[in-house]
Amino acid sequence: MEQRVNKFDFPEGMNRFNWGAFFLGWIWSAAMESVTGVLLSIFLGFIGNLIIGFHGNKMAWQSREFRNLEDFIRIQEEWTRWGLIVFIVTFSASIVATIISLFFIYKMTGTASRLFPN
């Protein structure tokens, strides 16, 4: 594994939003060996994930070793891909569960008027 000259020398142009860090929060932070990210995600929830999203690339670059910049970019793109997949699957499942729940409530009550009163 190549050693970087200075892991605190953050590459130009990499200070952009990290969607993988935002969607996967503490899981991404643990994989990137960022204790700060884990704590932010666990204790601040959505706000913590926003902070991790905005500062994720820098946090990952400083806390974990990467072979080179291309390796770093490839790994972060993979995290983004999986973060989007998890978000889409979770969001879709919640929509389906809501529709099924409303259907059964409608069937049990026989009317939708109790669900949506005037």
Instruction: Kindly report, residue by residue over 2-27, the tens digit of the pLDDT.
Output: 555 456 677 777 888 999 999 999 99
Residue 63: its pLDDT value, please?
A: 86
Q: How far apart are CA 28 and CA 25, in angstroms?
A: 6
Residue located via tokens 């291309």: 70
In this prediction, what percent of the chain has a pLDDT beyond 70? Answer: 86
| Cβ–Cβ under 8 Å, residues 40 and 63 | no
Residue 106: its pLDDT value, please?
A: 76
pTM: 0.75
